[in-house]
Structure 1
């Protein structure tokens, strides 16, 4: 069994570390507080990396991480990981979106109530010996219009609690369907502006992207009712902090509660510190004993399962590949890899596009991973990329200018199911195809010729004039060179008056043998390759 090394560079729960240490074939080093230079110096020795928010995984780190296969983020946000660099280097990035869901939702809800009822300043006043009941009069949440931007796990949990308080919940999420909104008993807004118009409270539960940066700007804050409140436990930068301060000073926005900031920690002269009605916490959304233990265990199991069996859960740069998916598509992956490699051997160089067609039973599966495996096989030989894998294959193809298309057809041809892969260059199309006969994978089509051969082994592909005696010449040449034939498949094209011979051999043909075959009259092409 392969021995994998995993580095835990940020503190996670001890139970999470133990889940990794107890896994067969995995060695764990806990080394926290590393400087960027220290991390770069040692990361090349590791296959897995477990982090929280402290460690920054930059392109320089990926360049040094020659053996790295997976990064596990104990938490939701992956802003500290360069995802483009991860994909380019074939490293899967997984987070733990469910482990701190309840913790963050509860914290955001607690901030809303503390802000509405002036809990913080009232407490400070009390311990200083004052009794200012009138000064800290609050507002009820019952009947208030709540805008939730982002209806993922945390937004959904916040909505449940708000409904229990009698709030009217309006939600905006570009991926939330009308049917899902109805089942959650929330009003669905088509845009963020519509959700915020007339809102008394807004809570943010969306990722930080160029599109969401300062989503709560001056104009959107103005859409809310006078006396409105803003709650942000998601990502710093979603709220334009200067605009929020100006709105509070102008008397439109009543207050703001923040757990995250554009700069963390915020500087001593942070403008909102002097605002009238605020609540601040130091990024505590996931800081409960339960959440820390949950995400630590979850990320450890994800890394363990990926290294041991290839399972991928909660990945941010490729589709999930859980045990159920592996079971359904697993038999097709080896065939897909062989088809990709075979195509790279027989297709012309510098193809413009790759087209993958699924016919019959295989078309009913989730075929994205199969297509990625085809690309992996094709690009491993065609692009000289050292680390082409399921994660970075589409990116490598795009960088090479190769477009990739996929189609599925419920009805098969003369096979029960078929995977057909074509490389297209201008007007020239080269196609290979494979299928299953029972549980046995077979290649059944090569470059216009219907053949049947194994999808793995060492092969000679010979194209020749369709005339008597050629096969005998080929066999004699192989025998004289001491190359044993394990299997042979023949096919002819009567229209073109050509034939192909696909020969599985036990040992690699010598350059001299290949030269002899290529110089034989009537032989048009000779390729030697291993699948």
Structure 2
């Protein structure tokens, strides 16, 4: 009997065109869903008769309660090689194999700098005014050269963001709980003693931390209050690293000059979510990993994962 594969959150409708799915022809029927299922009931009903599910990043949780409602599910493919919203123990108990894919670190680096530059030079305001017949020049851009870039996290993505900052002539500093001077020296940046020192001294703060118990809520109202009123905050990592209510209060109160945000507590954002109308905010709909080359990698590897599973030799196992 032909198996069925559901591809979730294919917002752009490109999942079946950015990779060659023909090796699965005749064995697997592939169905992509462009709409997002916001609740477990809706998702369970939509994919109850699928044997394979391909999910993007950590957008859709797969807790034990959901997995128990998917009796046909045998293979779950998640983009990337780490996924904290899948209950791996429950998957194993249900006999579900979980596999990952490769991913590129350059797209989120590039988007980080798009947000920094867009904020610093008022690109949205100036472009909108120009197109709508508004005033000719209404903002005065912030300089990056000679200013301090503070990185919370200096891993694969953070270190590449640092390299661009250095190319702009910025003074780049970094902090995380496990960051060593040796690692900072290797990247060519300075290690600061605390997050408080980084926040108080930086002109641009960019977050590049994995979400966990120690990073959830890392920046709340007291931390945001340490930032300069002229400083910019950029988060392309995980929304929960920053207290969302505290960030909204800082933006509305003008306590920071602006924020560039690509990740949110609820995704997709509801139409009435306060982030949609917050001042001093340049927001994008979680585009960090959305690039042609990255999607080609995701879906090519998804096909390979399915082929390997059907051959009885699964690859890129997660758990």
Listed as ranges, the matches of 1:294-333 within 5 Å are 294-305=297-308, 308=311, 310=313, 312-313=315-316, 315-317=317-319
- Greater length-normalized contact order (CA 8 Å, ≥ 6 residues apart): 2
Aligned residue among 112, 117, 122 for 2:121? 117
Shift of residue 298 of structure 1? Answer: 2.7
Q: Distance in 1 between matches of 2:286 and 2:117?
A: 17
TM-score, normalised on structure 1?
0.51
Do residues 38 (structure 1) and 36 (structure 2) align? no
Relative distance call for 1:307 and 1:212 in structure 2 (3 A) is farther
Q: Deviations over 1:245-294 (max 9, x none)?
A: 32234433110111121122334444444444221112222222222212
* Contact residue 40 and residue 60 of structure 1 kept, 8 A: no
Relative distance call for 1:40 and 1:170 in structure 2 (3 A) is same
Listed as ranges, the matches of 1:61-460 within 5 Å are 61-65=66-70, 68=73, 70-75=75-80, 78=83, 80-89=85-94, 91-96=96-101, 98-99=103-104, 101-133=105-137, 135-189=138-192, 191-305=194-308, 308=311, 310=313, 312-313=315-316, 315-317=317-319
Shift of residue 75 of structure 1? Answer: 4.6
Do residues 52 (structure 1) and 56 (structure 2) align? yes
TM-score, normalised on structure 2?
0.81
Aligned residues: 306
Aligned residue among 3, 8, 11 for 2:6? 8
Q: Distance in 2 between matches of 1:93 and 1:298?
A: 13
Secondary structure, aligned partner of 1:31: strand
Q: Distance in 1 between matches of 2:240 and 2:43?
A: 24
Shift of residue 142 of structure 1? Answer: 1.3
Q: Distance in 2 between matches of 1:190 and 1:5?
A: 55
Q: Distance in 2 between matches of 1:97 and 1:187?
A: 31
Q: Distance in 2 between matches of 1:87 and 1:191?
A: 40
Let me know the Cα RMSD of the aligned residues.
Answer: 3.1
Give unmatched runs, 5+ long, in structure 1.
318-531
- Provide the residue aligned with 2:21 in structure 1: 18
Give unmatched runs, 5+ long, in structure 2.
none
Q: Distance in 2 between matches of 1:17 and 1:205?
A: 33
Q: Distance in 2 between matches of 1:9 and 1:55?
A: 12
Shift of residue 106 of structure 1? Answer: 0.5
Shift of residue 115 of structure 1? Answer: 0.4
- Provide the residue aligned with 1:409 in structure 2: none
* Contact residue 13 and residue 297 of structure 1 kept, 8 A: no
Q: Distance in 2 between matches of 1:226 and 1:86?
A: 47
Secondary structure, aligned partner of 2:210: coil
Relative distance call for 1:173 and 1:304 in structure 2 (3 A) is farther
Secondary structure, aligned partner of 2:19: helix
Q: Distance in 2 between matches of 1:29 and 1:191?
A: 52
- Provide the residue aligned with 1:449 in structure 2: none
Shift of residue 145 of structure 1? Answer: 1.7
Relative distance call for 1:184 and 1:5 in structure 2 (3 A) is farther
Relative distance call for 1:143 and 1:267 in structure 2 (3 A) is same
Q: Distance in 2 between matches of 1:96 and 1:144?
A: 38
Secondary structure, aligned partner of 2:296: helix
* Contact residue 76 and residue 97 of structure 1 kept, 8 A: yes
Q: Distance in 1 between matches of 2:131 and 2:254?
A: 28
* Contact residue 96 and residue 295 of structure 1 kept, 8 A: yes
Secondary structure, aligned partner of 1:8: strand
Q: Deviations over 1:151-190 (max 9, x none)?
A: 3332222222122111222223445444333221122345
Moved over 6 A (4+): none
More strand by share: 1
Shift of residue 37 of structure 1? Answer: 3.2
Q: Deviations over 1:187-232 (max 9, x none)?
A: 2345533433312111122233343232221111122223111111
Relative distance call for 1:29 and 1:80 in structure 2 (3 A) is farther
Secondary structure, aligned partner of 2:140: coil
Q: Distance in 2 between matches of 1:316 and 1:191?
A: 34
